[in-house]
Chain A
Amino acid sequence: MTKNNSRRDFLKSTALSAGGLILGFNWFGQEASAATVVKEMANEAGGTAFNAFLSIQTNGIVTIFSPNPEIGQGIKTAFPIIVAEELDVDWVNVKVVQAPLDTKKFERQVAGGSGSIPHSWQRLRKAGATARQMLIEAAAKRWGVSTSECSTEKSFVVHTASGKKVGYGELATEAAKLTPPTDVKLKDKKDFKLIGSTVKGVDNHGVLTGKPLFGLDFYREGMKFAMIQRPPAFGMKLKSFDASAAKASASGIEVVSFKDKVAIVGKSTWEVKKARDLVKIEWEKAATLESSDDHNRIFKELLDGKTEIRRKDGDVETAFKDAAKIVEAEYQCPFLPHNPMEPMNFFAHVREDGVELVGPTQTPQNAQNQTAKLLNIPAEKVTVELTKMGGGFGRRLGTDYVLEAAELSSIIKAPVKVMWTREDDMSGGSYRPAVRYRFRAALDKQGNMIGYTLRGAGINAGNSTRQDNFPAGAVPNLLIDSAEHKSPITTGPWRAPITNFLAFAEQSFIDEVATAAGKDAVQFRLELLEKAKTAPTGEIKYNIDRMKAVIELAAEKSGWGKKKKGVSLGFSVYFSHASYVAQVAEVVMKKGKPVLQKIYAAVDCGVVVNQSGARNQVMGGIVDGIGHAMYGNMTFRDGTPDQKNFNAFRLIKMNEIPAIEVSFVDNGIDPTGLGEPALPPTGGSVANAIFKATGKRLRNQPFIEEDQKLFESVS
C-alpha cells in the first residue's frame, strides 16, 4: 500500500491535560481523494474491497467498516447509514464491522467534540457513491449499454429500458477491477431514503443478549488480571509498600510498582482485588493537599485578582458608569467525575516484536503514539483494537489507563488486563473542572443591555470562558476574561467541555438581566440577536439566523407566551459543537415543591442522519444535563474526593426524569454532531423555570445542595 500523506490524520496536539484543550485539535485533516483510496484498496485486497469503508461479497453482503470509536453516541450505526445511502444498498444486506486503528486508511479515528459526523460526512458519501458508480459501470459493460441508462435500487443495478437487473454481489468482482471514477455524483439530499429514517443500533442484538462487546469483556488465554493502587490523594506519592501478605493470599499474585503506583497482578479479578487490600502502602505528601474549602477561597482570590483578557469590545467602564441599572451575579459548579458505567480498563500485551492494545478508548491514535513513546518503539509496532465502550463522556480521551496497562505488561512480560474498580474510577481524576463565574450587565433606561462582563475562575480549567459565545456581538461594550488555579487535582474534557456548566451560568444570567429589564426571556434574546444582525459589535461566531430559528421553534412547540395554569416555563438556548439547541422547561408546584414536568428541545444539527439515534442523543444529553445540574457533586478533603461510589455520588434515576419532546429544524444543511450539544442548555432552562415557579434563583450546582429544602420532595 502506498503512503499518501494527504489522507493522514493530522493531530496537531495530543495534550489533553486540562479542560478545553480538546478544541486545540486539528481534527479536520485534508480530504481524502476517494479515487486514490479505492484504487489502493482494490489492489491491496484483490477484487472485492472497494475502499477503506466498505467491501462487497459475492453473496451481496456489504461490509461497512466503521472507523470511529463507539461510546454510545451511535456512530457505528450513523457512519454506515451515510455510506449505504450513497451506495444504494438495502440496509438488510449491510454488515457493520468496527475497524481497528489504521492511520493509513482512516482519518480522525476519534470520538470527541461531536465532530465525527461533520468531519466524515462528505468522505463517507463519496466512498459509497464511488463504489455505486463502479457497480453501474460493471453492469453497463456486461449489458453493452451506456451507464447513463442504468440506475440503482436497493442493492441492484437496473437497466430501465430493458428491465434487466443484476445484484451488487454478482457485480462486485468485476466492478472492483475498474478504474475508480474521479468525479462522483452525490445524491440530491431530497432523494435520501436511509438518511433521515429510523435505523436501530447495529449492536442491539449483541447488547441485548450479553455478547462480549466491551473492553471489560475482553479475555485472552493466558491473560493476567491486574488492579493498581494509585495515590489516595491528589498531591501524594508513594513512599514504600509491603506486599508479603498480598503475595501469600493466592497463588500467582505478583506486586510491582511504577510511577508512584502499586500494581497487583493475579489470576482472577476477585483474587487480585482481595490481594490489593492486603498490600500495606505508605504514602507521603508531595504537593498541597487541597480541600473544597480551599477552592472556595481560591475562587474569590482569582475573581478579584489578575486575569487574562479573552475578548474586549467597546468601553465597558463607561457603559457601567452610564447604566440606569446594573445586574451582578456569581455562579459556581463543582468538579464532576465522568462515571461511564464501564470503568476504565485496557488490555496490553508487550512482546519483543510489538505491542497489542485492546480496549475502550476515544483516541486510539493517541493511545498508539503515547504507548510507542513510553516504550521507546516506533508507532507502527503498536496495534490498537477498538472495543465497544460502556460510555466515555470524555474520560477516555485520556490515555493514562492505556499507558498503565502497557507499562505493566512490559514490566511483568505478560498479557494483562488492568481493571479499575468504581472507586478507582471515581477517585482517579481527570474530572470536569470546578469553576466560578462572575457576571455583570449594564442596562440603559429602556432596558437595553449596553454593557456585559464575564469573568471565569477555574481550577485547572484553562480558559473557562467561551468569549465569542452569545451575547458577544450583540452588546456594544463587553469584556470577557478568566483566571486559573493550577491544582494537583487532575481535570479533563467532560461531555461538552466548559460549556456543560458555562451554558447554565450564561443562560441563567441572561434570564436575570431580562427580568431586571422587565422583558420576556424569549423576546430579550431575540432583540439581542437582532442587534447582532443589524449593529454587530466585533466578530460573531454563531449563526444568528440558525439560533433564532431554534428559539422560535422551541417557543412555538412549548406554547411560550400562552398562559398554562400552574405551569412555569424557563427558556435557554445554546450554540456548541456546531449545533444549536433551544429548550423550554416546564415546572409545576406539587406539595409546595417545584417538579420538572417536561422539556421541549428544538435542535438544529443540520441533516438528521438517524432519527432514532439523534433523538436518543438529545434525550440522553438532556437527562445527563438535568442529573448533573440537580445532583452531581464531588467535594474534596485533603486531596481526596469525598464521593467514591454511587452510594455517595448521586446519578439521576428513572423516576427523576421529565417528559422530553424533541423537534429538529429541517434545513438541509450538512450535519453537525449531537453527542454533546443537547446537554449545555439544560441547566439553564431548568433553573429559569424553577425561578419562575418559586422566585428562587439557583446559581450553584448541584441545585439539590444549594437549597435542599426547596427540593425535599422532588426525588
Chain B
Amino acid sequence: MANYNLKINGKTLKTEASPDTPLLWVLRDNLGLVGTKYGCGMAQCGACTVHINGEATRSCVLPVSAVADATITTIEGLSEKGDHPVQKAWDAIDVPQCGYCQAGQIMTAAAFLKKNAKPNLEEIEAAMAGNICRCGTYHRIKEAVQLAASQMQK
C-alpha cells in the first residue's frame, strides 16, 4: 500500500492503494468517481477513458503509481455543469441508448477535438474506432462529434 495525492478534476484527492492498482479502480472504489466505466480490463473497449495530462488514456490498465503526479480529468470533471460542447452535442443528438460506454466516448472525443478542431469524417472515425458501443449508437456519436466540432469553432 502507498499513499497518493492525485490531481483529479482540479482537486487534490488523497488515497491509499497498492501501486499496481489500475487508476480505474482507484477512481471507482476509493474515490467514488464511478463515471469512468469498467468494460474489458485490457484497453480494448474504451469505456474507462480518462484524460491524463490532456491525453485520452485507458485507465483500466494504467497503474496508479504511474499517474501520481499527473493531471487527471474524468467525466465528472470534464465541465462543471455538464455543459462541455461535447456533452451538449451528445444531448442534442440524443446519442445514448444504455449509456454505459458514453462517458468513455465523450472523453475520447473531447481530447481528440482539442487537438484537431476541424476534423473530417475519416479522422473522426479513426479517433473513435477504439471505443466500442454495444448498442450501436455510432451514427449518432459521429454526428455529435461533428456538431461539437462546429460549436467549438464558434
Contact = CB atoms under 8 A, between A and B. Distances in A.
Contacts, number: 182
Interface in A148-197: none
Contacts of A2: none
Interface in A636-669: 645-647, 651-655, 657, 659-660
Most buried by B among A205, A270, A617: A270
Interface stretch (A372-380, A387-395, A464-472, A512-520): A387-395
B76 A208 contact: no
A457 to B, nearest CB: 29
Contact of A204 (B20, B96, B125): B96
Interface in B62-81: 74-76, 78
A201 B94 contact: yes
Given A72-B98, A660-B139, A653 B47 contact: no
B35 A620 contact: no
A203 B99 contact: yes
B21 A270 contact: yes
Interface residues of B, number: 58
Nearest to A271: B18
Nearest to A627: B136
A421 B60 CA distance: 12
Interface stretch (A60-68, A214-222, A315-323): A214-222
B10 interface: no
Interface stretch (B38-46, B51-59, B111-119): B38-46
Contacts of B20: 270
A389 B98 contact: yes
Most buried by A among B47, B90, B135: B135
Contacts of A343: 38-39
Interface stretch (A32-40, A85-93, A334-342): A334-342
Contacts of B4: none
A222 to B, nearest CB: 14
A657 B139 contact: yes
B35 A210 contact: yes
Contacts of A673: none
A228 interface: no
Contacts of B146: none
Contact of B99 (A270, A390, A659): A390
Given A204-B90, A204-B91, A645-B40, A270 B22 contact: yes
A332 B77 CA distance: 48
A200 interface: yes
A204 to B, nearest CB: 5
Contacts of B76: 209-210
A201 B135 CA distance: 14
B125 A654 contact: yes
A657 B78 CA distance: 28
A270 B18 contact: yes
Interface in A117-161: none
B132 A619 contact: no
A533 to B, nearest CB: 35
Contacts of B18: 250, 270-271
Most buried by B among A203, A343, A653, A659: A653
B28 interface: yes
Nearest to B127: A654
Contact of B34 (A71, A210, A423): A210
Contacts of B125: 654-655
A208 B135 contact: no
A221 to B, nearest CB: 11
A26 interface: no
Nearest to A647: B44
B44 A645 contact: yes
Contact of B75 (A209, A213, A624): A209
A209 B87 contact: yes
Contacts of A422: 39-42
Contacts of A339: 134
A505 B24 CA distance: 42
B35 A390 contact: no
B137 A341 contact: no
Contacts of A602: none
A209 B100 contact: no
A528 B122 CA distance: 43
Contact of B29 (A268, A391, A621): A268
A600 interface: no
B7 interface: no
Contact of B129 (A219, A392, A623, A655): A655
Contacts of A612: 94
Contacts of B38: 216, 343
Interface in A411-432: 421-423
B128 interface: yes
A17 interface: no
A51 interface: no
A341 B132 CA distance: 8
A714 interface: no
B98 A388 contact: yes
Contacts of B40: 422, 645-646
B101 interface: yes
Contacts of A421: 41
Contacts of A647: 42, 44
A210 B28 contact: no
A597 B1 CA distance: 53
A390 B100 contact: yes
A677 to B, nearest CB: 15
Nearest to A74: B97
Contacts of A623: 136, 138-139
A391 B100 contact: yes
A617 B137 CA distance: 9
A113 to B, nearest CB: 18
A479 B106 CA distance: 52
Contacts of B133: 341, 654
Contacts of A74: 97
A616 interface: yes
B136 A652 contact: yes
A292 B20 CA distance: 38
Nearest to A340: B134
A225 interface: yes
Contacts of A342: 37, 39, 98, 100
Nearest to A652: B136
A212 interface: yes
B120 to A, nearest CB: 13
B135 A391 contact: yes
A500 to B, nearest CB: 14
A423 B44 CA distance: 12
A210 B98 CA distance: 13
A619 B139 contact: yes
A616 B137 CA distance: 7
A245 interface: no
Contacts of B35: 209-212
Nearest to B60: A422
12 contacts: A72-B97, A72-B98, A203-B96, A204-B90, A208-B102, A212-B34, A268-B30, A341-B132, A390-B98, A422-B40, A616-B97, A652-B138
Interface of B: 17-18, 20-22, 25, 28-30, 32-42, 44-45, 47, 74-76, 78, 82, 87, 90-91, 94, 96-103, 106, 125-126, 128-142
8 interchain residue pairs of minimum CB distance: A210-B35, A623-B136, A72-B98, A390-B100, A210-B75, A207-B99, A72-B97, A646-B44
